[in-house]
Amino acid sequence: MCGIAGLVQAHPKSPDQLQSIAVNMGAAIAYRGPDAAGVWLNAQLGFAVAHQRLAILDLTPAGHQPMHSASGRYVIAFNGEIYNHQQLRRSLERSGQAPSWHGHSDTETLLAAIEAWGLEATLRQATGMWALALLDRQERQLHFACDRFGEKPLYWGLSGSGQEQALVFGSELSALRAFPAFNNSIDRAALAQFLRFCVVPAPLSIYAGIAKLPAGHLVSIPLPLVPGAPLPASQPWWNLSAVIEAGNAAPFSSEPEALVALESSLSHAVAEQAIADVPLGAFLSGGIDSSLITALLQAQSSRPVRTFTIGFAEAGFNEAPYARAVAEHLGTEHSEITLSSGNAQALIPQLPQLYCEPFADSSQLPTHLVCRSARQAGLTVALSGDGGDELFGGYNRYFWGPRIWNRLAWLPGPLRLSLGLAITALPPPAWDAIGRPLPIGQLGHKAHKLAARLRDVRSSDDLYRSLVSEWPDPAALLQGEPPELETTAIDQPLPACLASDPVARMMAWDSLSYLPNDILVKVDRAAMAASLETRAPFLDHRVAEAAWRLPMSMKIRGGEGKWALRQILYKYVPRELIERPKAGFAMPIGQWLRGPLRSWAETLLEPGQMQRQGYLRPEPIQMLWRQHLSGRYNHTTKLWTVLMWQAWLEQWG
């Protein structure tokens, strides 16, 4: 896990200038790789690349980057891990295509494989997470590539003007902003999509002209750059839709066969991802996903695995006792970190720096704190349960979304609106009291969220898009003319085999959009800001292939998700330690905004300031703010989205 940054100048400057710019771009993200820094340049091509190393495999200088292939044809700056690199080495050695190895890093293996098989063929054989910049000196091409699910980020695009224009790239926007001629304006269409989704979805970035490389994509750019010429579009080298179609065409023949295959693929993924030359542990929330990953990791370890969880001082949000019980049963060496409003207030001013572009999933706070605590405790690598919800049916919307639509589809729009108004007439605390005996966490927030979405939906697909959209008409929130919005992953067609299964469609869209744009961005930035590498065994592509061969009845059964994962987990952890309402990484942000965070929020939401900034209309935001303060409404997510934009704008605008 590392950070990469670099540039290609359309009008090449001196080697000293190239070197200085690349060094500064790398230094802007030094926290991603504090163990070593390196720069390589080719002045003739106007190319320079910087690498910040977080040493995980081969801690010696033999693992430093940028790294050359044995023949000198390729130069790479690589961020990520190739978990099966030892198998790739053996394949190269058996075929007589291996070089004389200088060390045992996965980057050296990757370069040798690219030299033997080519870039795209190597990516298809590799298992892992990565974003890379690869210069082919022979063909004079610069390649960028991203892993299958988008675990590792890469921003790229043109910046500067005239003689100063360059192609700039990096793991985070902080590196691109360090380019001296950086002049990209804020993209109002990206801002609108941020208000809708609480994240800036790929391939957009918050800056016009700068893109994020989407999951499973690569792009090849001829060098030297031709001034004024457009950049080529990225292309997929791996496609989740093909995995879905293959799984649908070849389902498991029986439940026992499916459970054996799934446990085998997960165990293999955990074993590969447990390989490191530095201390390794796991995040443990006490839920299905993290408990299963921890159980499989502990089953393969000869000593107690180190586990970490986050707790909250506020009642109703704290899941730390559940994690503690699972840790005690598995025999891990467990640590708990308690988050209070004071911790949050101290961290909130750092969020625009940690996330480099607006990001408004409030679980970013505990995620960073648990990463920081794990790093301070001596860990360099932590395994997580990310991806389990999307692949195995974990989110609440999979259970009650289609069910509610089936019951309400016959109602005309005005009647659905009336029903929504009736639901919101009861404040969230009253709904929470009603739902206390039921297996539904935060019923009040969810009831109000549903009520706001009942008016305009015409199908279960519409309901899904509404559920993942916070501001349903974000362009109307912007000052000036509404921008033209680009399509996103959830606007794209899905495989025909999913046409009759609304739950499978939700899961596919979540894997294509919510997972890479929200969950994986959150974890990458939160962890790398603490110089911690995180790994997600559920995102091994072989696990995903097994998941899409499962019938839906093995994912959701009896009103509960992750049925197949539960059956495997119960072999390691008693059922009674696991069965409880799903809460996720819930945060009492709504309470804090009415209390200790109120002054901070009101400063950012001051109407005159917002009007002068020229981006958001203050009137609708002020209305929601007053309603939220009354306690009768819960507008936490909408307000947090606006607040994260305002905080980012205050620092970077």
> Based on the domain organization, do 150 and 34 belong to the same domain?
yes
Task: State yes or no: pLDDT of 89 exceeds 60.
Answer: yes
Residue 69, domain extent:
2-236
The verdict on residue 474 lying in a domain is: no
Token pair recorded at residue 307: 């586990």
Token pair recorded at residue 62: 């033999």
> Based on the domain organization, do 7 and 113 belong to the same domain?
yes
d(CA 542, CA 557): 23
* Boundary of a domain, candidates 577, 606, 623: 577
The CATH number assigned to the domain holding 381 equals: 3.40.50.620
Task: State yes or no: pLDDT of 234 exceeds 80.
Answer: yes
pLDDT tens-digit map of 608-650: 999 999 999 999 999 999 999 998 888 999 999 999 999 999 9
The verdict on residue 180 lying in a domain is: yes
What is the helix (H) or strand (E) element at residue 624, kind and residue range?
helix 618-630
What does DSSP assign to residue 487?
Answer: P
> Based on the domain organization, do 34 and 173 belong to the same domain?
yes
The verdict on residue 472 lying in a domain is: no
Length in residues, the chain = 653
pLDDT tens-digit map of 489-541: 888 899 999 999 999 999 999 999 999 999 999 999 999 999 999 999 999 99
The verdict on residue 398 lying in a domain is: no
Report the number of distinct structural domains present in the chain.
Answer: 3
> Based on the domain organization, do 287 and 328 belong to the same domain?
yes
* Boundary of a domain, candidates 190, 219, 236: 236
> Based on the domain organization, do 288 and 180 belong to the same domain?
no
d(CA 420, CA 504): 26
Mean pLDDT of the chain: 91
> Based on the domain organization, do 379 and 513 belong to the same domain?
yes
Residue 118 CB neighbours (<10 A): 11
Residue 354 identity (one-letter amino acid): L
pLDDT of residue 316: 56
Angle at 398 between CA 515 and CA 632, to 5 degrees: 90
pLDDT tens-digit map of 8-65: 998 988 999 999 999 999 999 999 999 999 999 999 999 999 999 998 988 888 899 9
> Based on the domain organization, do 244 and 232 belong to the same domain?
no
pLDDT of residue 410: 59
**Nearest CA to 554 among 546, 543, 562?**
562
pLDDT of residue 440: 60
> Based on the domain organization, do 330 and 259 belong to the same domain?
yes
* Boundary of a domain, candidates 577, 608, 634: 577
> Based on the domain organization, do 338 and 197 belong to the same domain?
no
d(CA 349, CA 346): 7
Task: State yes or no: pLDDT of 188 exceeds 90.
Answer: yes
The verdict on residue 388 lying in a domain is: yes
Token pair recorded at residue 52: 């910040």
More confident residue, 95 or 1: 95
The verdict on residue 414 lying in a domain is: no
pLDDT tens-digit map of 425-462: 777 777 777 766 665 656 776 676 666 666 666 778 88
Residue 462 CB neighbours (<10 A): 13
How does residue 311 score in pLDDT terms, banded at 50, 70 and 90? confident
Task: State yes or no: pLDDT of 571 exceeds 90.
Answer: yes
d(CA 648, CA 650): 5
The CATH number assigned to the domain holding 220 equals: 3.60.20.10
List the beta bridge partners of residue 533. Answer: 381
Residue 653 CB neighbours (<10 A): 12
pTM for the model stands at: 0.93
> Based on the domain organization, do 551 and 630 belong to the same domain?
no
The verdict on residue 432 lying in a domain is: no
Do 564 and 395 touch, CB atoms closer than 8 A?
no
> Based on the domain organization, do 572 and 606 belong to the same domain?
no
The verdict on residue 173 lying in a domain is: yes
**Helix or strand or coil: residue 134?**
strand
d(CA 598, CA 573): 42
Dihedral over alpha carbons 179, 182, 188, 191 (to 10 degrees):
20
> Based on the domain organization, do 226 and 249 belong to the same domain?
no
